[in-house]
Amino acid sequence: MSKGSKYLLVSLPTSISPSSHPDEALTALRSTISNDYGTTYPFAIPTFKIGTLDALVRQADDLGKLESTCESVVHKVGESLKSILDGDEEKVQQNKTINDKPVDQYLRAFQWNKVKYRADKTIADLIDSLQKEIQGIDNDVKAKFSQYNQTRTNLQTSQRRQTGNLATKSLTTIVNPKSLIQNSEYLDTHLIAVPKTVAKEFYKTYESLCPMVVPRSAAEVASDEEFVLFSVVVFKKHSTEFVHKCREKRWTPRDYKYKEGGKEEEAKEVDKLEKDERKLWGEAIRLGRTGYSESAMIWIHVLALRVFVETVLRYGLPLDYVCGLVQTTAKLAKNAKTNLDKTYSYLGGNAFVRDSKGRIKKDDQASLNDMQATGHLGDQEYSAFVYYEFEIV
């Protein structure tokens, strides 16, 4: 992918050239853009079934919304790839291809997929198919990455339980079951992680935290650099109060019950999560790569269909037009657009007259506002010709 590339899709009537021949019209478009501001390639669009004018206006609106959806899905899939690849830009770009080709190469040689999106279908049917496909890709990628992220979170939690301090880590390998009173009708053994700095205070005060703490029952079970783990015996009727008082002191009660074979079970769980995480990582990468490719392809097909519909609405029938793809940069795109406006503003008739700086004159601003209010222009500035900008990142 050429980083920083911006693309322009421009459709013009072939009458911009003296012969009205498509090849000469494309040459005229190239000359207007000039190599200083971008490289122009032919962009072939089939001829589709054309319905009524009202239908075309509705379809133009539907395609505008669908294009926004496609752009959003492509961006989200790209961000998901970036996340799973830990922001490694080189690896991310390797997975951002369209139909196994670099993005710019696919666009320069774009061909409408006539097998998947037959041109003999109605425009409404094509829009419906494209809408369902992009939604399906979005749902599939979202579900797979969510599954991976949940498994990764579970694995990290399990790993932290194996390697953390005594306030957080698993106690399965630390606590000897003989140090616990089990299956007693009246007594509970509580395990409390106490910061080393206040261990002496714990010894002095734990018996008075609540009634019916068994005197001299505190015993050190384990210690690390930060905490000492104590066991304390308390009568069950006051267990809840004891735990609450410990928390008030900022000591950490550990919820632990001995389970036969628990040590082996934990090891198996971590091993399973590691295997699941590796498997899902591979699946998410493959689906992300495929999802990026397919969603970007759908986006370009939607753009092509949008150009076609807008061309019919702008220039009428019979259809004699040429469409060019301009590869440029964000900075040079402004210069390319200025050249296009200067050369082809006459196509808009007297509807919008511009001043020497290319701005719409005051008298015409009200008409422009009306068009924007009705949604005819979408979020783009009005042009006298069919013109769309896009970036695939």
Q: What is the mean pLDDT of residues 327-356?
A: 83
Residue partners of 386: CB distance under 8 A and separation at least 6 = 9, 10, 11, 12, 307, 310, 311, 314, 323
pLDDT band of 355, cuts 50, 70, 90: low
Q: Looking at the structure, do residues 249 and 283 belong to the same domain, yes or no? A: no
Q: Looking at the structure, do residues 245 and 297 belong to the same domain, yes or no? A: no
Q: Looking at the structure, do residues 112 and 26 belong to the same domain, yes or no? A: yes
Query: What CATH number should be reported for the domain holding residue 207?
Result: 3.30.70.100
Examine the pLDDT at 374 and tell me if it is beyond 50: no
Distances (CA, A) of 199 to 161, 193, 206, 219, 226: 23, 10, 10, 12, 11
Number of domains in the chain: 2
Query: What CATH number should be reported for the domain holding residue 63?
Result: 1.20.1460.10
Percentage of residues in the chain with pLDDT exceeding 90?
Answer: 79
354 or 255: which carries more pLDDT confidence? 255
**Distance between CA atoms of 12 and 338, rounded to whole angstroms?**
15
Position 145 in a domain: yes
Last residue of some domain: 231, 258, 285?
258
Position 12 in a domain: yes
Q: Looking at the structure, do residues 146 and 283 belong to the same domain, yes or no? A: yes
Position 41 in a domain: yes
Question: pTM of the entire structure?
Answer: 0.79
Distances (CA, A) of 26 to 21, 298, 320, 387: 9, 25, 12, 15
130-181 pLDDT, tens digit per residue, is 999 999 999 999 999 999 999 999 998 888 878 889 998 889 888 988 889 9
Q: Looking at the structure, do residues 44 and 120 belong to the same domain, yes or no? A: yes
Q: Looking at the structure, do residues 92 and 188 belong to the same domain, yes or no? A: no
Q: Looking at the structure, do residues 128 and 187 belong to the same domain, yes or no? A: no
How crowded is residue 103: how many other Cβ atoms within 10 Å of its Cβ?
23
Q: Looking at the structure, do residues 122 and 239 belong to the same domain, yes or no? A: no
Domain span at 319: 5-151+277-390
Position 337 in a domain: yes
44-100 pLDDT, tens digit per residue, is 999 999 999 999 999 999 999 999 999 999 999 999 999 999 999 999 999 999 999
CB 243 within 8 A of CB 255: no
CB 361 within 8 A of CB 376: no
Q: Looking at the structure, do residues 354 and 227 belong to the same domain, yes or no? A: no
Position 63 in a domain: yes
pLDDT at 363: 47
Q: Looking at the structure, do residues 53 and 145 belong to the same domain, yes or no? A: yes
pLDDT band of 3, cuts 50, 70, 90: low
Position 141 in a domain: yes
- Burial string for 320-349 (b: 16+ CB within 10 Å, else e) reads ebbbbbbbbbeebbebbbebbbebbbebbe
Position 267 in a domain: no
Last residue of some domain: 214, 229, 258?
258
Q: Looking at the structure, do residues 376 and 333 belong to the same domain, yes or no? A: yes
Position 170 in a domain: no
pLDDT at 311: 97
Q: Looking at the structure, do residues 224 and 293 belong to the same domain, yes or no? A: no
Q: What's the mean pLDDT when you consider all of the chain? A: 90
